[in-house]
Structure 1
Amino acid sequence: MPYAIGFYRKAHGTYPAESVEEALRHKANGLRAMKLKIGFGLEEDLALIRAVREAIGPETRLMADANGAYNTALARRLLLEASEYKLYFLEELLAPEDIEGYLAIRHLSETYVASGENLFVKIGYRHWIAQGALDILQPDLCSSGGFTECKKIASLAHRST
């Protein structure tokens, strides 16, 4: 399902109001899913998620990307406290090399945990897949080695299911 991305912050912006306006524009344009940019602190992120979810309603799929802004303890709190807003996935909650942190948080809520755009080639995904550290793998086409390498990553993931 295609989804809107954006929700970038501007200096002197008013948030979450500007993000709510953006979400409503995406919804009015027919998009049924969107991904928020978070990573500004637990309370601020929860306020943003809550405001956007209330504005767009439960039928629109909502995700969020923290770009590695959290440590394991704060990521745990975000997953648990945001569960009432029914996020489809939370992306890159932790630093890209923190496999132990991802293993510690993955099963805390119904929200899928996603990451992988900062892992490289199929060998970089091997331990993540084998240990079941993520619900959703998100290889970046360029840094993962192109279409052929992404197909190999997909094959590794498929064999582990």
Structure 2
Amino acid sequence: MKIVAVKPHVVTEKLKTTFGMSQWQWESRASCLVEIVTDEGIVGWGECFGPAQGARALIDSVFAPLLAGADPFEHVALWESMYNRSREWGRAGVPIAAISGVEIALWDVIGKALGQPVHRLLGGRAPDAFHAYASAFYYGGDWQDDLEAEARSLLDQGYRHVKMKVGADLRADIERVHRVRAALGPGVLLAADANRGYTTAEARLFARETEAASLWFFEEPVIPEDLAGYRELRASVAVPIAGGESMFTRWGFAEMVETRAVDLLQPDATACGGLRETLLVAGLASVHGIPTLPHVWGSAITVAAGLHLATALPVVTPSLGRAAPVIELDQAPNSFRGTLSDLAIGPVMTVPQGPGLGIEIDRTVIEAYRA
């Protein structure tokens, strides 16, 4: 089998309602989807995290020519070739995200060629179902103004794991956390994500002022480059500290993991290098006693890849009471999450059992939103 085409597709959606994180507002959603076509007619799909146009440019000009005529089963060697080629643009950020999308598409091709779901190829064991945690309570927009109403909606849908946005205004954020905790009740796990919006001192104050809310974890409290700040914070507060979505490849994660800067690691397979790279990062973290809970934020392709990945994550410390990983499920507007494929998305999800990623892509959605 040979690769005959690597096609990046950029899709863009202008949102009717904006939503915000600690440092910016989103007025649109865009994604770079990767399609790999083989000479046997097998098509695989992947997705790149981050700036879609940049990923498309690199795939078109650099990685597609590199993969032309290659055997997709040599995906490890192909990854190494792309990674070595990326040195001219940097081995972090958009180049690695572009490689990630290609790598996921290669897994989809291989699974379809073998008639096996990706989780079987990864050696994972699929549970009956995975619970999802709702990544919700964004800033701004009419649909997020009433925290209590949003909490009721999530509860009515069946979510029992929730993450909320903080990091924009310290005092207001503390109040928001207590409001959301009261609205959700004590039986729901609640995490907070600052999207690197605080200084270390602000993050410490936030953690201490929200201790009564019994947060599940506190994500990206400070900028990802400030690993000393991560370690200082982790040593001074009770809430588990999480991070890693802004890191790339096992080399980029090494210091964060080896210095135990976090309690919970959050690599994103569509950003950090792909499925295999995420498992390598998770294996490194397990050596240092750090569990991995991958970041998932994209279309149905990303969600499907996250479900397969979750089946093969290393268990840091076996325990009879240890629960399966919980899959992140973004609640902000995104047509590519719900309509791009036939994947059933909700508070409880099953791992697709069809070959490859196990989902069917609706090309009419790609054409409707093509940039």
TM range (shorter): over 0.9
What's the counterpart of residue 65 of structure 2? Answer: none
What's the counterpart of residue 184 of structure 2? Answer: 56
Q: Which structure has the larger Rg over C-alpha atoms?
A: 2
What are the equivalent positions in structure 2 for 1:9-88 lying under 5 Å apart? 9-11=139-141, 15=145, 18-88=146-216
Q: Any conservation in 1 of the 2:215–2:239 contact (CA below 8 Å)? A: yes
1:7 to 129, 132, 137: 137
What's the counterpart of residue 114 of structure 1? Answer: 242
Distance in structure 2 (CA, Å) of the matches to 1:11 and 1:32: 24
One-letter amino acid of the counterpart of residue 7, structure 1: F
What's the counterpart of residue 251 of structure 2? Answer: 123
Secondary structure at the residue paired with 2:236? coil
CA shift at 1:144, angstroms? 0.6
Q: Any conservation in 1 of the 2:231–2:262 contact (CA below 8 Å)? A: yes
One-letter amino acid of the counterpart of residue 136, structure 2: G
Aligned residues: 159
TM-score (norm 1): 0.93
Q: Any conservation in 2 of the 1:7–1:36 contact (CA below 8 Å)? A: yes
Structure whose residues are more often strand by fraction: 2
CA shift at 1:24, angstroms? 1.3
What's the counterpart of residue 265 of structure 2? Answer: 137
CA shift at 1:13, angstroms? 7.4
1:96-123 Cα shifts (integer Å, max 9, x gaps):
1110000001133331110100011001
Q: Any conservation in 2 of the 1:79–1:108 contact (CA below 8 Å)? A: no
- Kindly report the root-mean-square deviation, in angstroms, between the aligned alpha carbons of the 2 structures: 1.5
> Mind listing any 5+ residue stretches in structure 1 that lack a counterpart?
none
CA shift at 1:38, angstroms? 1.1
Distance in structure 1 (CA, Å) of the matches to 2:271 and 2:144: 34
Secondary structure at the residue paired with 2:230? helix
Distance in structure 1 (CA, Å) of the matches to 2:139 and 2:198: 18
Distance in structure 1 (CA, Å) of the matches to 2:210 and 2:140: 24
CA shift at 1:9, angstroms? 2.3
Q: Any conservation in 1 of the 2:198–2:222 contact (CA below 8 Å)? A: yes
One-letter amino acid of the counterpart of residue 76, structure 1: R
Q: Any conservation in 1 of the 2:132–2:161 contact (CA below 8 Å)? A: yes
1:118-148 Cα shifts (integer Å, max 9, x gaps):
0110011111111110001000112210001
> Mind listing any 5+ residue stretches in structure 2 that lack a counterpart?
1-130, 290-371
CA shift at 1:60, angstroms? 0.5
One-letter amino acid of the counterpart of residue 216, structure 2: Y
Q: Any conservation in 2 of the 1:80–1:108 contact (CA below 8 Å)? A: no
Instruction: Identify the structure with bigger relative contact order (alpha carbons < 8 Å, sequence gap 6+).
Output: 2
CA shift at 1:93, angstroms? 0.7
CA shift at 1:151, angstroms? 0.7
Q: Any conservation in 1 of the 2:230–2:261 contact (CA below 8 Å)? A: yes
Distance in structure 1 (CA, Å) of the matches to 2:214 and 2:237: 10
Q: Any conservation in 2 of the 1:23–1:34 contact (CA below 8 Å)? A: no
Identity level (%): 35
1:77-104 Cα shifts (integer Å, max 9, x gaps):
0111111110101111100111000000
1:32-76 Cα shifts (integer Å, max 9, x gaps):
011101112111101100001111111110011110000011011
Secondary structure at the residue paired with 1:106? helix
One-letter amino acid of the counterpart of residue 152, structure 2: L
Q: 1:14 to 1:37 in 2, by over 3 A?
A: closer
